[in-house]
Amino acid sequence: MPKPITQTPTTDPTPTSTAAPTFPPSFLWGAATSAYQIEGAVREDGRTPSIWDTFSHTPGRTAGGDTGDMAVDHYHRYRDDVALMKDLDLGTYRFSVSWPRVQPTGRGPAVQRGLDFYRRLTDELLAQGIKPALTLYHWDLPQELEDAGGWPARDTAYRFAEYAGMVGEALGDRVDLWITLNEPWCSAFLGYGSGVHAPGRTEPAATLRAAHHLNLAHGLATQALRQTLPPRAEVAVSLNSSTVRPLSPDSPADNDARRRIDNLANGVFHGPMLHGEYPADLITDTAGITDWSFIHATDLAAIHQPLDALGLNYYTPSLVSSAPSAPTTRSDGHGASDHSPWPGADDVAFHQSPGERTEMGWTIDPTGLHDLIMRYTREAPGLPLYITENGAAYDDKPDPEGRVHDPERIAYLHGHLSAVHRAIKDGADVRGYYLWSLMDNFEWAYGYEKRFGAVYVDYATQKRTPKSSAHWYAQASRTNQLPPAN
């Protein structure tokens, strides 16, 4: 058994009452996945390769050379997967649309066979009473668009807006929650900075250009969606906003390191998206890398679109200090690289936060989630929040009877959902929570090594087995209350 979560120094304070935390009646309980991580069928029905197909097929890029060619075969098994969601009493399901499946090569007309898959999936969800939440971009850029420059190229933002409009037109009648981008930080800083994600480039200036064009893509796509979606539809973005903490809270140098990383992790996206401007000190801190002349006069207005909600993805906080020379090889939790994902911050060291860790090596700290929710409650007053991802990887294994018992994941979920509950009590408008992930899947550079699912997948047979956390979560969803963690 893991140590009860309330005994570690960094966990959420124990509620004084013994009553089970109860959520608002309309609170949505969901699970999330993404296209490349689950669908497989990479060469079917006209789909063309994305940067993740190319990257995962490049030797040395993913653990064991794993690819998403088959993933968990969701493209063919979606009906059974939706039935499983129903069995688990999910109220909502967040999935992503594969861009190269609906607009092969990233240009030209939409392909009906690709769109039909998402029509069938959403019909199935609606038939089971499960609310679909659609992410337009979860990292699978069509390879042709990368060949034309990728996210550092301005045109990619316009291509994305066109694609968003096509999907909006096709599915706007049945999807009410739309997320433009998933974690643009990972796309820009891991894809073009440290290179541990596709397309695997390591160019500090291109990283910041990519970040700007992802912001522009979000703004233009939001405008395109507004033209096709019915007024009831909500448009949001999912940010992996980090809770960044200084190693020595009294050290001015560590606080300055915290400020700089916070700008590169958070301000670079929420600045323009929520406030219509980049943090001024982000521009000056990175002046040695770029002059930011890629920002055109009307861009900030285009990016700063009214949103209906903000999605927050949270796993673990960051702990930083000032360091004259930070280590040259670093693991940022997504993979090791000799290149920093943080342009202009080579003199910042990252530390392991104290406390227990998940199988990813990520410290379990629900206070970071509470802090994050309260931060955005202050930064964007009145903007409803969804936790669009939260969860943990563990080394799950079936017992001799084939059952998968994962008490550590139950403790993780209990701790973080308690933090959400506390934030709601503190005045935050959190409308729902999406557990990452519905089922075990392709965990990017880690391949199939890391299991995040509430449902266990036997990759040899594709058999799905709900873990004990899935049953625990189903009970929470059914009762709108957190069952005890043990």
Decide: 237 and 181 in contact? Cβ < 8 Å.
yes
Give, as ranges, the residues between 268 and 327 that touch ligand FCB (CB under 6 A).
313
- What is the per-residue binding string for ligand FCB in 23-42, x denoting contact by CB under 6 A? -----------x--x-----
Tokens of 337: 């690289």
Decide: 111 and 102 in contact? Cβ < 8 Å.
yes
State the Cα–Cα distance between residues 466 and 404, nearest whole angstrom: 7
Is 389 noted as a catalytic residue in this protein?
A: yes
Give how far the C-alpha of residue 224 lies from the chain's centroid of Cα atoms, to the nearest Å: 22
CB of 186 to ligand FCB, least distance (A): 6
User: Is residue 183 at the binding interface for ligand FCB, with CB under 6 A as the rule?
Assistant: yes
What end-to-end distance do the CA atoms of the chain give, in Å? Answer: 9
User: Is residue 442 at the binding interface for ligand FCB, with CB under 6 A as the rule?
Assistant: no
User: Contacts with ligand FCB: how many residues (CB under 6 A)?
Assistant: 12
**Active-site choice (39, 124, 146, 183):** 183
User: Is residue 186 at the binding interface for ligand FCB, with CB under 6 A as the rule?
Assistant: yes
Q: Please say which residue, 48 or 96, places its beta carbon nearer to ligand FCB.
A: 96
Q: Please say which residue, 81 or 443, places its beta carbon nearer to ligand FCB.
A: 443
User: Is residue 358 at the binding interface for ligand FCB, with CB under 6 A as the rule?
Assistant: no
State the Cα–Cα distance between residues 140 and 41, nearest whole angstrom: 14
Q: Which span (67-75, 181-189, 258-266, 416-424) binds ligand FCB, by CB under 6 A? A: 181-189
CB of 278 to ligand FCB, least distance (A): 23
State the Cα–Cα distance between residues 213 and 151, nearest whole angstrom: 6
Decide: 450 and 443 in contact? Cβ < 8 Å.
yes
443 is in an annotated binding site: yes
Q: Which of 443, 451, 455, 477 binds ligand FCB (CB under 6 A)?
A: 443
Q: Which span (154-162, 164-172, 180-188, 398-406) binds ligand FCB, by CB under 6 A? A: 180-188
Decide: 101 and 38 in contact? Cβ < 8 Å.
no
**What is the number of the residue whose Cβ is closest to ligand FCB?**
183
Tokens of 50: 């994305």
Is 183 noted as a catalytic residue in this protein?
A: yes
Decide: 192 and 210 in contact? Cβ < 8 Å.
yes
Report the amino acid identity of residue 240: N
User: Is residue 240 at the binding interface for ligand FCB, with CB under 6 A as the rule?
Assistant: yes
Angle ∠(469,472,476) on CA atoms, nearest 5: 135
Binding residues for substrate are 37, 138, 182, 315, 436, 443-444
